[in-house]
Amino acid sequence: MKYRFVDHTADIAFEVYGSSLEELLENATLAFYDSFVDLNRIDTSKDVKIEVEGEDEEILLYRWLNELLYLFDTQFFAAKDVKVKVEENNVKKATGKLKGGKFTPENVKVEPKAITMHKFRVEKTPEGLKAFVVVDI
């Protein structure tokens, strides 16, 4: 399982899974965009590259999701394919290649406002990593 949506009273919540940090970020990207747009109506004519850094997995994921939100809000971009590489030195650096396209208002399910820290976490499991994310709508 890549991700699953979790019932939440006022916001969008999802759990995301990955055998590695790269896979966790890839699956978080798909969960994020699947939450807000009809991915079946998005083409793959545009390539976008993003880079974020973080001291640990939680900060990296939080910054990654905020970058996705920025692309959503400013470029009306949604990705349906993503490949991520993570380098680890003093800090973790994630570089992603996103393939997707622009969405129209008709494609939007609901608009995201902010990635929250409410119950936000990344934890290690026997299978790899699991994260919990709540997005304010």
Q: Assign domain 3-136 to a CATH class.
A: alpha beta
User: What integer is the mean pLDDT of 120-137?
Assistant: 95
The tens digit of pLDDT for each residue in 4-22 reads 777 766 789 999 999 999 9
Average pLDDT of the chain, as a whole number: 94
Q: What is the pTM of this model?
A: 0.92
Is 134's pLDDT higher than 80? yes
Model confidence at 115, pLDDT cuts 50, 70, 90, reads very high
DSSP 40-100: GG----EEEEEEEEESSHHHHHHHHHHHHHHHHHHH-EEEEEEEEEEEESSSEEEEEEEEE
pLDDT at position 126: 95
In this predicted model, what pLDDT tens digit does every residue of 71-113 receive, in sequence order?
999 999 999 999 999 999 889 999 999 999 999 999 999 999 9
| pLDDT for res 130 | 98
- Domain-by-domain residue ranges, the chain? 3-136
